[in-house]
Every structure is written in C-alpha cells, then in structure tokens.
Amino acid sequence: MQLLSEQEIERRKDREELMQLGINPYPAEAFPINVTSEDIHKNYENHKTDYKDISIAGRLMTKRIMGSASFAEIQDSTGRLQIYVRRDDICPGEDKTLYNSVFKKLLGIGDFIGVKGYIFTTQTGEISLHVTELKVLSKSVKPLPVVKRDEEGNVYDGFTDPEMRYRQRYVDLTVNPEVKQTFITRSKIISTMRRYFDDHGWLEVETPILQAVHGGAAARPFQTHHNTLDMPLFLRIANELYLKRLIVGGFDGVYEFGKMFRNEGMDRTHNPEFTSMEIYVAYKDYIWMMEMVEDLLEKVTLAIHGDTKVKVGEKEIDFAGPYRRLTMYDSIKEYAGIDVSKMGEEELRKVCAELAIEVDDSMGKGKLIDEIFGEKVEEHLVQPTYITDYPIEMTPLAKKHRTEPGLVERFELFVNGKEIANAYTELNDPIDQRERFEDQLKLAERGDDEAMAMDEDFLRSLEYGMPPTSGLGIGIDRLTMLLTNKTTIQEVLFFPQMRPEKKQVEMTEEEKMIFELVKGNQPALLPEIKGMTDLSNKKWDVAMKGLSKKGVVSVRKEGENLFIDLAE
C-alpha cells in the first residue's frame, strides 16, 4: 500500500475535482507551441511586433494570486517566463470557473499548463506573457521540493543532497535547471567528435553488446545466459575486437560511441556502465594517433569553451598541443625514483612491499608495474601527458615496439591525474596474438579474473590479414567531467548506478517525535523517551504501535529496563 503525505492526498483530490469539472488533467491532444522562453527574453525588445500571438507551454513554478488577476511563472526546457493571468481574459463569459476554481485553487506548483496570449513589459520592466487562453496539460500529484531564491539569485532550501539528486534526476533537472548545461555540453562533446570523424571519412558503426567471448580489455565482465541458445553471454567490456574485424573486412576507418560494462568497483570516476568512443584507422600507427588526438581535443575544447584552456578546480589545463610525451619506465623513474625497466616479477613484488602497495599472487609483471605507476605517478600528470611504451605483459593487443624489446607501442593520455584515452599500434600478427592470449590464460589460471579470454574467431580474422592499424579509446564520461569541471562521474551521467533505495516510511507527527528522540538518545530507555514527549498514554501507545508495525523501532527488555531500538 502506498503511503501518501498530506500534500499528495490534497493533490489527488484536486485531480478528482478537475475531472468532476469536465477537465481532463492529462489530455491526449497536442498543444501548439510557437516560441520558447529563451527566444522571448532574447528577442522581444528588438522585435516586439513578432510576439503578439504567442503559444507556449511549461511547468508552473510560482503563483501569486491577487484577486481577479495573478502573476505566475512557467518553466519550459529553455528557462522561465512570467505570465499575467486575468480572470476576465481567460473567462470572457459568465462562467469564471477556469480562473476562480481551476487556476486559483486546483493548479499547483509542478503542474504543466499551456498558455496563449501576447508579450508585454510590466511597470517593473519584467518581460511577461498576458494570457488570453489557458489549458491544463498535466496534473502533478507529488509536490516538487521548494527551492527559494532571493533577489540576488541566492538559493535556499535547495534540492542539493547528491543521493537524492542522482536517484531523482527528473526532479534535479526541474528544480536545478543549471544542471541541464552539463548534459548539453556532454552532447556537444560527442557531436563535435562525430563531426570530426565524419569529415575525415571514417564510418560510424555498431557492434554487439552481448558477446560470446569477453575481450578487448582487462576487466571483469557481467555474465548472463541465453535460454534459446543455452549458452553464457557477456555484456561487452570493450568493442575493440569487433571493430578490428571490420578493418580486416576492408574499411579504412571505423568508430563507435557505445556503452561498456565492467563488473568492478564504483567510485568518483568509475560506474559499472560507462560510455566509450573507440576508433580504428588503417595504415596508421600510435605516433600518428597522438597527433590526431591533440587536434581532436583542441577542436572539442574550442567548440565547448571557445578556448583550449579549461578551468578544472583550481587548475587551468591547456588542451592545445603538442602534449608532453614520457615513457612509462621514465615516468616511474622521474616520480618514484625507481628504475623498473630491468626488474623481474619477484623484484617488483619487493618494491611494492617497500612502497606499501597492496598486491596479490594473481598479479603478473605487467600488473605490478601498473600498480606502482598508479600509486606514484598518475597524480602528477595534470597537464595533458602521453605515457608511452608499455611493458608487453600489460597490453596483449598492442604491437611489439619497433626498437625497444619487451615493450609495446601504446600510449595513454593522462589529464588532471586521470586516464582519458588509450591507444595502440594494433597487433596484426595472428601468431603473436595467439601467444599473447595464451599468456593471458595462464594469468587466469593463477586467479586473475580480469585476464582476457581466448577469442578464436578474432584470431581467425587476423589470419586472413589485417593492415597496419592504429586504434584509440576515449572515456566520454571522464572527458565530460574535465570539460564541465565536475569531480564525480555521477554528475555527468543522467542515471548513475545506485545502491537499492531504502524504503521511505511515512510517520505521524507523534511517531516522528519519538523516532528523533530515540535516534538522538542512545541507548534509549523507554521511560525516559516517553517522559520527553509529554504524550498521553493513549497517544504514546498509538505512536509506538505505529512505529513497531512499520518496522522502525522495536522494544527489548534487558534486566529490569525497557529499551527502544531503531531498526537496521
């Protein structure tokens, strides 16, 4: 059974009254819109004759009743507009119900209305819509959080709790409309990148999300089961191996914006579902790719900010190329004072122990080096920096370095201490690739649940021949965080993954009082709490029964004393 607040009960009554008046609170027919609030505020003063026949719709956000005339504000997708509603204008006949009952009493904050009329300027200089027609479009039966703003624009009683904002993004976007700009910027980042790739003649494609073999990255997958085929399937951790199959098939350049899924931890920069862009271009190498990425990110930052310099916290980051290039070994030597280039696995384990870096038996040489790098180097890479030339053990899908034995041709781009992009000169030797996969299987046998699986079909595609190719992946979520100056990935995802929501319990005023007293007085002796409430025996008994029935509290006896315990 749904527990309703007093306001929710009243709004449901208003809904019923509208229907009794013959007004459908949720009409099916379209409402014509010929302007936005943003358009009106930007252009009315210079084109006043164009705003005499206006039709606009939005959510009612404020209402000031002043007898037979009232002011209100509606909010559409572009902003707010003040409206002026006069009883005799929207009710020209004898029947004044639409104003006296519907607008004044039955419409509340959060309801959607459609209005028609003309634009004018009030005596205080406020651009407003004089309403001549009003139509109910959608009745809200749950009240919006009240957000108060003073004349200077300062916000009070705002909808600011992060968990509530992420769970109820629809409310967040409504009462904190500035949040929309983050997602508008995110969309512009993607569209700018897409335009850049298209202008170069590279093809946007789609590859499978459900895969029989999880590959293309070192990560733990989500697993499911296909009933008809009676086989396990995995949500993709990367789309790399399918995109490279398309290069084998004859495309010179392919790219994909897509969701990836990794069954791993969650923190400020990780969500189990995230967006990645991957691109593969034939006849190129990782050196060419570095130059392409610099050009791409310059154009993206210019499109978003009109400048290549971006404010991130207290830092200013410049995305104009060229970026600094530093090999992985040199970066560890520079920032940790250790030369790991000639170390074997056991020596690396000793180094990790000395540096108090936690490792386990499943980690091979590559992962140990990666742990040292992550612990001692990443935080120092604030300005865009390419970390290049990784140990072969870390990168099973990259081509061996052309001059440095034991390394591969790979770079990662780090900005503000976080990896933003990852690229290789792609391994196209099928014999070498098979041996690398076999090494991964050995790591899996040691307990590494992020080791790559053997993909026979991908190997078969390489056996048909893949041209020299360079590939790149860019994390769209992290790039958006940088370009919008956000510190958590949840701020740039409309609907981030959350823990199951704790069921909210509606309580009477007496129940709330007892609950707060018990919460603030632990251990809570029953006689003491009862004495603090000043409730009669009857009201106390009713409130305690209510709290017990709702699973909020329980009473226990310990010796001669009775205690009230809060439920877990």
- pLDDT per position as a tens digit, 338-397: 999 999 999 999 999 999 999 988 888 888 999 999 999 999 999 999 999 999 988 899
pLDDT (0 to 100) of residue 335: 96
Q: Please, what is the angle between helix 240-248 and helix 456-463, to 10°?
A: 30
What distance in Å separates the CA atoms of residue 125 and residue 533, rounded to the nearest whole number?
53
Residues 276 and 243 sit within 8 Å (Cβ to Cβ): no
Give the 3-state secondary structure of residue 198. Answer: helix
pLDDT (0 to 100) of residue 451: 79
The neighbour count for residue 309, using CB atoms within 10 Å, is 11
Q: What CA–CA distances, in Å, run from 552 to 505, 516, 544, 566, 567?
A: 8, 11, 10, 6, 5
pLDDT (0 to 100) of residue 520: 83
Please state the pTM of the whole predicted model.
0.85
What distance in Å separates the CA atoms of residue 417 and residue 419, rounded to the nearest whole number?
7
Which of 254, 256, 405 lies closest to 341 in space, CA to CA? Answer: 405
What distance in Å separates the CA atoms of residue 49 and residue 56, rounded to the nearest whole number?
17
Q: In percent, how much of the chain has pLDDT > 70?
A: 97
Burial of 505 (0-12, 13-18, 19+ CB in 10 A): middle
Spans in the chain with pLDDT lower than 50:
1
Q: What CA–CA distances, in Å, run from 301 to 186, 306, 511?
A: 12, 7, 54
Q: What CA–CA distances, in Å, run from 445 to 51, 365, 437, 439, 548?
A: 72, 15, 13, 10, 52
DSSP-H helix ranges across 464-536: 476-484, 509-520, 526-533
DSSP-H helix ranges across 119-234: 162-167, 169-175, 180-199
pLDDT (0 to 100) of residue 362: 82
Span 457-515, pLDDT tens digits: 999 999 999 999 999 999 999 999 999 999 999 999 999 999 887 676 778 889 989 98
Instruction: Provide the terminal-to-terminal Cα distance of the chain, rounded to the nearest Å.
Output: 22
DSSP-H helix ranges across 28-71: 37-43
Which of 248, 194, 173, 245 lies closest to 216 in space, CA to CA? Answer: 245
pLDDT (0 to 100) of residue 458: 96
Instruction: Specify the DSSP class assigned to residue 179.
Output: G
Residue 328 sits at φ, ψ, to 5 deg, of: -60, -45
Which of 480, 478, 471 lies closest to 290 in space, CA to CA? Answer: 471
Residue 490 sits at φ, ψ, to 5 deg, of: -65, -25
